[in-house]
Amino acid sequence: MNIRDGRPFRINIGVVIFVVIFVYIIICVFMYFTQKHIEGHQVKMGALSSNNIYKGIALRDEEIVNAQEAGYVNYYAREGERVGVGNLVYTLDESGRLADYISTETDSTTLTTRDLNELRTEILGFRNSFDPEYFSSVYDFKYNVKGTVLKLANANILENVDKINSSGLSELISFCNAPATGILIYSVDGYENLTLEEFTSELFDTKNYEKTQLISNELVEAGQPVYKISTNEDWSIVIQTDQEKADELLKAEFVKVKFLKNQDTSWGEVSSYTNATGEIFVKLTFTNSMVTFCTDRFIDIELILEEETGLKIPNSAIVEKEFFIVPKEYVTQGGNNYGYGVMREAYGEDGTATTEFVETTIYGETETEYYLDDMVLRVGDYIIKPETSEKEALSKRGSLTGVYNINKGYADFKQINVLYKNDEYSIVKSNTQYGLNVYDYIVLDASTVVDDEFIY
């Protein structure tokens, strides 16, 4: 015990512990920033698909129906609904009084449970499928809901035709029915009669695209469009491609297409056309799903072509490594482990020529040659063909593509056979003799290690 100023000196254990912990943290932080960080990656099966996303233009059999006379239009069928020949589509009111009458009656109209369920389904469907990248769908939803409400309200009014007759409006109202069976569309855009042979790249410029929405209760003149009807379930999407892609699609004849709007898929029959300026367009024809996209002119799609399946590894793990290339007849087995290697010419202290067995690892092969590790062999070494006096100097070298396997705790090069690759990943063949297997661990970034470096 030390005495200072007549009082004993005591060590503060708390301060000591704090100093020790602080020093330990400083050492750990220093080691973290100075040591090499090697991250592993588990190999798993996977697949890659090409970036085959295109903006297409929809072509349908669309017949524009024009107003026979001037008046106010009131629709009684919602957009996207199938109507039969002779079904009521809209009324044309010369006086405009029907709109006021419907407005008054709508205020007192009570929607049935069935009507409310239809509206609820419309809203839930939009909420579940809404994608901010396709904000224009909000306007389609707006018109769909408005059309549904008007249809329900107007249907209730039509159930009381006697009220309309008694109001003195019947003589001023024209009831307009569908001329054919088909899907109703309440918009026009000038693309209705477009054919594949008329396509140019300018048609895909949405900045110049104009779509006119046809709205209920609007005043129209005689001869103006009031709706259009699509009478055929067969329809097409036209995309612009290069010659190589067009040839690939034509060879396939039928292509699986994913619609990015709702992620549905369908098979399209392929045809193509090259215009006078050399622009190439591919038409994909479908026999279903037309009603789903009947209000869309521009549709984003993805072509689902043949996918390569195998071991999926990040491109950052791939490395090129050089090896000696040796004829197979020069490789034999020997040594204590009876491993693979070569017979190398050596010289004793007295200058006498002898041979020694040098064990080495085989990393790849062709029909006639092996790729051997160059860690124990040198350029200029003479190797001897077993059971003969023939010898050859090591000089031929070649590179293999591979990754560093770390299953055994060190960086062990493994050859890979790349089947397909994109910007981030590669698909490689599995279960090869000198390659990888599923669930192997590899170095995520091959640039962070060297051959045979210990990882842990």
Confirm whether 316 is domain-assigned. yes
Q: How many domains, the chain?
A: 3
Domain shared by 277 and 149, yes or no: yes
Domain shared by 277 and 324, yes or no: no
Is 232:60 a contact under the CB 8 Å cutoff? yes
**Model pLDDT, residue 280:** 92
Domain shared by 323 and 370, yes or no: yes
Task: Please state at what angle helix 137-158 crosses helix 113-129, rounded to 10 degrees.
Answer: 170
Is 354:311 a contact under the CB 8 Å cutoff? no
Rg (CA), the chain: 39
Confirm whether 44 is domain-assigned. no
Of 183, 282, 193, 189, whose CA–CA distance to 237 is shortest? 282
The pair of three-digit structure tokens given for residue 393, joined into one six-digit string: 């100097």
Calculate the CA 219 to chain-centre distance.
45
Domain shared by 258 and 345, yes or no: no
**Model pLDDT, residue 306:** 66
**Model pLDDT, residue 162:** 47
Calculate the CA 175 to chain-centre distance.
48
**Model pLDDT, residue 93:** 78
Domain shared by 240 and 322, yes or no: no
Domain shared by 140 and 108, yes or no: yes
The DSSP secondary structure of 188-250, one letter per residue, reads: E-S-TT--GGG--GGGG-GGG---EEP-TT-EE-TTSEEEEEE--S-EEEEEEE-HHHHHHHH
Q: Write the pLDDT tens digit of every residue in 187-231.
A: 898 899 899 999 999 999 888 888 888 877 788 888 899 999 998
Domain shared by 181 and 256, yes or no: yes
CA distance 249 to 242: 11
The pair of three-digit structure tokens given for residue 250, joined into one six-digit string: 């034509």
CA distance 90 to 88: 6
**Model pLDDT, residue 399:** 92
Confirm whether 456 is domain-assigned. no
DSSP lists the bridge partners of residue 72 as 93, 219
Residue 30 has what DSSP assignment?
H
Confirm whether 39 is domain-assigned. no
Q: Which regions of the chain are under pLDDT 50?
A: 1, 3, 106, 161-162
Contacts of 454 by beta carbon, 8 Å cutoff, 6+ apart: 409, 410
Q: Write the pLDDT tens digit of every residue in 160-188.
A: 544 555 555 556 677 888 888 999 988 89
Domain assignment of residue 108, given as a range: 53-304
SS (H, E, C) 343-375: EEEEECCCCCEEEEEEECCEEEECCCEEEECCC
Domain shared by 299 and 321, yes or no: no
Angle at CA 198, nearest 5°, toward 194 and 204? 75
